[in-house]
């Protein structure tokens, strides 16, 4: 090989190829640079055109020149890179490439600017956000001026802050929901395990048929039941067109309504729970029957309550011929129900009447001093209701609360209750009933509370043998100054075969358990409650004396009234023929038989511990009840019948009026007995009277305990054994005297209530502690002593009648 001569390798490019490549690269580079300069010129022109728009649209403006041309700069970089990659050969790094890189390095690189607020700015923004999370334009401009920021920066900061707070709140709520979901899943799994392992209590087998899903047969039976109900409604509508007029117009002469009644009530809607509230609201949608009501069908219970409410409201508002005058007592007309009109006006009612029971229906309207809200609350609370009517209700209980009402009140409340109704005599059996109590507010603002017996609703039950309570209750209208107008309707079916002949005329007249007695008791008790709430303090005894100022405080006055109320309740409950009492007849015959009953008192703060002997008897007097009441409550004539006073003088130390009638009062008496070692003995006495009866009830009280009560102490711990008298009309008017006697007319001394004419039925009752040891046995001597005490008291009262000492009246042989 010649020296200095280099032979090119196989893969080396030739000179021609290298020259061609350089020419191609130069052409490409020139073209790219021309395009790049042209595009840069276009972008600068566009930037100058948008310079004016930046003042109107700041958010869209670029923050720097590099941002404005950043995209095109990247594009140029990519094109330059692709141009260099197109060069053949790995070197490609001649003088042209170095010039290109040096030219590109002269262009400014793209940078993203970030603005961070100072700590002071963040603190001020946070503080302002707590006060105003949504600032307006004026607040944003002022805040931006104070912090040295742009208004848009302030606006965006608040938007971001609100979004951040919302996100945190949603995250917290999601965590709570997730925890609750896990809890429900665990509880659901536990219930599924319990259902899978449950067994039938009757057969011991699996209980899937009882507590699982509804069976196929049951589903079809429910569908068939709904179809039959619709069919019955359709047939009833067709029958009403051909048989007679609609139910709302079956009673003729609806315009002939007494002045005491209100406007006619519209025809009743179909018996459906959807008519219980305006707008079709089903207030019994969540009704679940369990406990005492487990044996009832829900649909039947709801329909019975709705039908009873409709019947009560119509019977309270309609006049003649549905209601006709029957008796006139004390100048007031007592209405009775026209059974024929009732059968035509209420063809279905709540069931047919039972022929073996006697029907009683009456209506009475009174105005009471109590607002409708408090009155409804007392009627729907079983304890307050039994206390309000302590002379009528001996015991009562709520078996089941089926519905508590809607809108925070008793509208729609439905309860299953049981009660025993009494007369103050062991000769009249009590009436027991299990009934539904339903309360509803009507569109005119009035309220109604209805009771209806549930006998016969159970699948295997029959109507009670002793009686049945048809729709009975009251319609209440609000009046000014806290008064309420109450229309009471009492409609019952009862078996009175066990009533003594002495009380049969009174029971059959409807005065014993009728609406007049309920309304009179309500009016008297409302006056009593108003007196208890009064802020005045009595000045002293009504008969004068030196005992002025015994009751010196409002608290002492109320405590004394509460003690007297408990005394009256104890007396009324201890003198009746309740099923919980076992009376034993001692001696005598006819109506003057003395009956005794023993009770043991253990751990009862209201009674002394030991054996308590109750003794009672009832007899007839040929003078009006008002005159008997005036004689027994008079302190001047007390020594004529009160054996325990031993002829001592009786002084009234305190007197608290309890109503408009001057006979309604609570008194504190002191007996000054000169023949006894005890110089003083205190007696708490309450006298109450209304249009249906009167009571004189008293009890000896301990001096120390009474001082605690007069100072406002708790009266529930004062031991009482009340005795007294219950005075009722005989129910037969002037012609009701027994053979051999004639009733004398009222004398000038007559006063009080309880009927102004006819004879009187007087019940005398004593409660005496015969032994302070509860486990001791009753001795015959104690029974003989009590028998002698009550017989002597009766003879003294009869002697006063015969001697013409009761208000100028008496009895004379015919």
Spatial neighbors of 179 by CB under 8 A, at least 6 apart, are none
Contact predicate 405/439, CB 8 Å:
yes
In terms of Cβ atoms closer than 10 Å to its own Cβ (0-12, 13-18, 19+), residue 431 is buried
Indicate if the pLDDT at residue 192 is higher than 90. Answer: no
Label residue 294 by pLDDT band (50, 70, 90): low
Q: Write the pLDDT tens digit of every residue in 598-648.
A: 888 887 778 888 888 888 999 999 888 988 999 998 888 888 888 777 767
Q: What is the pLDDT of residue 354?
A: 76
Which one is predicted more confidently, 483 or 262? 483
Residue 75 has pLDDT above 60, yes or no: no
What distance in Å separates the CA atoms of residue 160 and residue 138, rounded to the nearest whole number?
19
Q: What per-residue confidence (pLDDT) applies to 736?
A: 45
The residue-averaged pLDDT of 419-430 equals 91
**Residues with Cβ < 8 Å from 517, sequence gap 6 or more?**
392, 511, 692, 693
Q: Please, what CATH class does the domain formed by 299-456+466-529 belong to? A: alpha beta
Answer whether residue 546 shows pLDDT above 90: no
Q: Taking 70 as the threshold, does the pLDDT of residue 9 lie above it?
A: no
Domain 121-172 grouped into CATH 1.10.10.60: yes
Indicate the pTM of the whole model: 0.62
Higher pLDDT, 605 or 482: 482
pLDDT in tens, 692-708: 899 999 999 888 888 88
pLDDT at 774: 76
Q: How confident is the model at residue 798 (pLDDT cuts 50, 70, 90)?
A: confident
- The Cα–Cα gap between 654 and 701 comes to 14
Res 385: pLDDT:
94
Enumerate long-range contacts of 289-295, CB under 8 Å, 24 or more apart. 289/400, 289/402, 290/400, 291/399, 291/400, 292/399, 292/400, 292/416, 293/399, 293/400, 293/402, 293/416, 295/457, 295/458, 295/459, 295/460, 295/461
| pLDDT exceeds 80 at position 175 | yes
CA dist 157 to 134, 145, 162, 411, Å?
Answer: 11, 15, 9, 53
Q: What is the pLDDT of residue 386?
A: 92
How many angstroms from the chain centroid is the CA of residue 463? 29
- Size (the chain), residues: 814
For residue 279, pLDDT beyond 70? no
Closest CA to 414 of 521, 312, 225, 273: 273
- What pLDDT is attached to residue 292? 58
Nearest to 753, CA basis, from 660, 657, 668, 669: 660
321 preceded by cis ω (within 30°)? yes
CATH 1.10.10.60 boundaries in the chain: 121-172
Task: Report the half-sphere exposure of 359 (CA within 13 A, side-chain side).
Answer: 16
Distance CA 466, CA 513 (A): 14
pLDDT at position 419 is 93
Q: Residues of the chain with pLDDT > 90: what percent? A: 21
pLDDT digits (tens, 9 = 90+) for 244-253: 333 333 333 3
**Angle of helix 151-196 relative to helix 137-147, nearest 10 degrees?**
110
pLDDT digits (tens, 9 = 90+) for 706-761: 888 888 888 888 888 999 999 999 877 534 444 444 444 443 333 444 444 578 99
Q: How big is the CA angle at 184 (ends 181 and 190), to the nearest 5 degrees?
A: 145
Determine contact, residues 715/566, Cβ cutoff 8 Å.
yes
Q: How far apart are CA 155 and CA 140, in angstroms?
A: 7
User: Phi/psi zone of residue 63: left (φ > 0), alpha (ψ -120 to 50 degrees), beta?
Assistant: alpha
Q: How confident is the model at residue 199 (pLDDT cuts 50, 70, 90)?
A: low
Question: What is the reported pLDDT for 270?
Answer: 40
- Count other Cβ atoms within 10 Å, centred on residue 814: 8
When pLDDT is cut at 50, 70 and 90, the band that residue 530 belongs to is confident
Selected residue with higher pLDDT from 351 and 698: 698
- Give the per-residue pLDDT at 119: 87
On the question of pLDDT at 284 being above 60, the answer is no
Q: Is 350 helix (H, G, I), strand (E, B) or coil?
A: coil
Average pLDDT over residues 111-115: 60
Average pLDDT of the segment spanning 492-506:
88
pLDDT of residue 258: 34
Average pLDDT over residues 45-50: 51
User: What is the C-alpha separation between 794 and 763, in angstroms, rounded?
Assistant: 10
DSSP annotation of 182 reads H
Q: Which of 245, 243, 246, 248 is nearest to 318 (CA)?
A: 248
Q: 358-405, pLDDT tens digit by residue?
A: 888 999 999 999 999 999 999 999 999 999 999 999 999 999 888 888
Average of per-residue pLDDT across 540-551 = 51
> Residues 64-87: what's their mean pLDDT?
41
pLDDT at 745: 45
Give the separation between CA 457 and CA 250, rounded to whole angstroms: 28
Report yes or no: 744 and 621 within 8 Å, Cβ to Cβ. no
Q: Give the pLDDT band (50/70/90) at residue 785.
A: confident
> In a 3-state reduction of DSSP, which class is residue 587?
coil
| Cα–Cα distance measured from residue 106 to residue 477, given in angstroms and rounded to the nearest whole number | 98
> What are the φ and ψ backbone dihedral angles of 257, each rounded to 5 degrees?
-110, 140
pLDDT band at residue 799 under the 50/70/90 scheme: confident
The pLDDT of residue 162 is 92
Distance CA(549)–CA(563), nearest Å, equals 19
Handedness of CA 486, 491, 496, 502 (dihedral sign): positive
Domain boundaries 550-734+758-805, CATH class: alpha beta
Structure-block tokens of residue 372: 């409708």
Asked if residue 582 lies in contact with residue 569, where contact means CB atoms within 8 angstroms, the answer is: no
Domain with CATH 3.30.530.20 in the chain: 299-456+466-529, 550-734+758-805
615: left (phi over 0), alpha (psi -120 to 50) or beta: beta
Higher-confidence residue of 811 and 652: namely 652
**Between residues 246 and 196, the one the model is more confident about:** 196
Share of the chain above pLDDT 70, in %: 64
pLDDT attached to residue 191 = 85
Q: What is the mean pLDDT of residues 64-80?
A: 42
Query: What spatial distance separates the first Cα and last Cα of the chain, rounded to whole Å?
Result: 184
Higher pLDDT, 776 or 682: 682
pLDDT at 800 over 60: yes
Of the given ranges (51-65, 281-295, 569-583), which has the lowest mean pLDDT?
A: 51-65
Interatomic CA distance for residues 814 and 793, integer angstroms: 26
């Amino acid at each position: 090989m010649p020296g200095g001569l280099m032979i090119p390798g196989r893969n080396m490019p030739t000179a021609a190829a290298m020259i061609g490549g350089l020419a191609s690269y130069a052409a490409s580079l020139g073209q790219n640079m021309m395009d790049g300069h042209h595009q840069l010129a276009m972008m600068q022109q566009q930037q100058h055109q948008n310079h004016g728009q930046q003042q109107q649209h700041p958010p869209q403006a670029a923050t720097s020149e590099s941002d404005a041309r950043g995209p095109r700069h990247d594009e140029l970089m990519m094109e330059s890179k692709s141009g260099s990659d197109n060069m053949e050969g790995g070197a490609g790094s001649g003088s042209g490439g170095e010039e290109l890189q040096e030219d590109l390095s002269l262009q400014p690189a793209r940078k993203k600017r970030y603005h961070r607020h100072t700590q002071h700015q963040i603190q001020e923004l946070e503080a302002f956000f707590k006060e105003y999370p949504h600032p307006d334009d004026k607040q944003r401009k002022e805040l931006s001026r104070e912090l040295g920021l742009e208004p848009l920066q302030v606006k965006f900061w608040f938007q971001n802050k609100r979004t951040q707070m919302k996100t945190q709140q949603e995250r917290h709520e999601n965590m709570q929901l997730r925890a609750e979901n896990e809890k429900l899943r665990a509880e659901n799994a536990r219930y599924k395990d319990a259902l899978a392992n449950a067994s039938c209590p009757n057969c011991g087998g699996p209980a899937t048929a009882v507590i699982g899903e509804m069976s196929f047969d049951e589903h079809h039976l429910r569908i068939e039941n709904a179809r039959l109900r619709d069919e019955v409604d359709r047939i009833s509508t067709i029958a009403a067109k051909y048989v007679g007029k609609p139910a709302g117009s079956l009673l003729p002469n609806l315009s002939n309504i007494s002045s005491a009644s209100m406007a006619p009530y519209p025809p009743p809607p179909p018996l459906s729970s959807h008519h219980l509230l305006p707008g079709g609201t089903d207030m019994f949608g969540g009704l679940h029957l369990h406990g005492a009501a487990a044996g009832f069908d829900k649909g039947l219970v709801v329909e019975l309550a709705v039908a009873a409410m409709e019947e009560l409201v119509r019977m309270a508002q309609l006049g003649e011929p549905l209601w006709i005058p029957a008796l006139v007592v004390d100048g007031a007309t007592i209405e009775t129900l026209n059974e024929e009109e009732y059968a035509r006006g209420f063809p279905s009612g709540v069931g047919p009447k039972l022929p073996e029971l006697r029907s009683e229906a009456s209506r009475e309207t009174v105005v009471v001093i109590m607002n409708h809200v408090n009155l409804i609350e007392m009627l729907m609370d079983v304890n307050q209701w039994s206390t309000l009517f302590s002379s009528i209700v001996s015991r009562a209980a709520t078996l089941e609360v089926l519905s508590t009402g809607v809108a925070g009140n008793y509208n729609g409340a439905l309860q299953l209750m049981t009660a025993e109704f009494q007369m103050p005599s062991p000769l009249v059996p009590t009436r027991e009933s299990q009934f539904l109590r339903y309360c509803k507010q009507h569109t005119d603002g009035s309220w109604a509370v209805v009771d209806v017996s549930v006998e016969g609703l159970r699948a295997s039950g029959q109507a009670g043998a002793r009686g049945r309570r048809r729709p009975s209750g009251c319609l209440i209208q609000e009046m000014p100054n806290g008064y309420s107008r109450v229309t009471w309707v009492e409609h019952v079916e009862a078996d009175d075969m066990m009533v003594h002949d002495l009380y049969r005329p009174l029971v059959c007249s409807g005065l014993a358990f009728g609406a007049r007695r309920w309304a009179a008791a309500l009016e008297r008790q409302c006056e009593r409650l108003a007196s208890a709430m009064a802020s005045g303090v009595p000045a002293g005894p009504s008969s004068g004396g030196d005992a002025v100022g015994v009751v010196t405080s409002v608290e002492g006055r109320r405590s004394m009234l509460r003690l007297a109320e408990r005394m009256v309740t104890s007396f009324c409950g201890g003198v009746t023929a309740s099923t919980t009492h076992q009376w034993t007849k001692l001696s005598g015959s006819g109506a003057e038989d003395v009956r005794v009953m023993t009770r043991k008192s253990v751990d009862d703060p209201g009674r002394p511990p030991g054996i308590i002997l109750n003794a009672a008897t009832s007899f007839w007097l040929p003078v009006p009840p008002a005159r008997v009441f005036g004689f027994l409550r008079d302190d001047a004539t007390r020594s004529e019948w009160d054996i325990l006073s031993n002829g001592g003088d009786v002084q009234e130390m305190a007197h608290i009026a309890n109503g408009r009638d001057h006979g309604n009062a609570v008194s504190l008496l002191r007996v000054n007995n000169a023949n006894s070692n005890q110089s003083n003995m205190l007696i708490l006495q309450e006298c109450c009277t209304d249009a249906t009866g009167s009571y004189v009830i008293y009890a000896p009280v301990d001096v120390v305990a009474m001082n605690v009560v007069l100072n406002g102490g708790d009266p529930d711990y004062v031991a009482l054994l009340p005795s007294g008298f219950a005075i009722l009309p005989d129910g037969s008017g002037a012609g009701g005297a027994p053979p051999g006697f004639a009733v004398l007319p009222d004398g000038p001394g007559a006063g009080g209530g309880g009927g102004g004419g006819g004879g009187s039925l007087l019940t005398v009752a004593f409660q005496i502690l015969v032994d302070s040891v509860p486990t001791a046995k009753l001795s015959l001597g104690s029974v003989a002593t009590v028998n002698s005490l009550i017989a002597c008291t009766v003879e003294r009262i009869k002697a006063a009648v015969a001697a013409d000492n009761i208000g100028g009246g008496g009895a004379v042989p015919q």
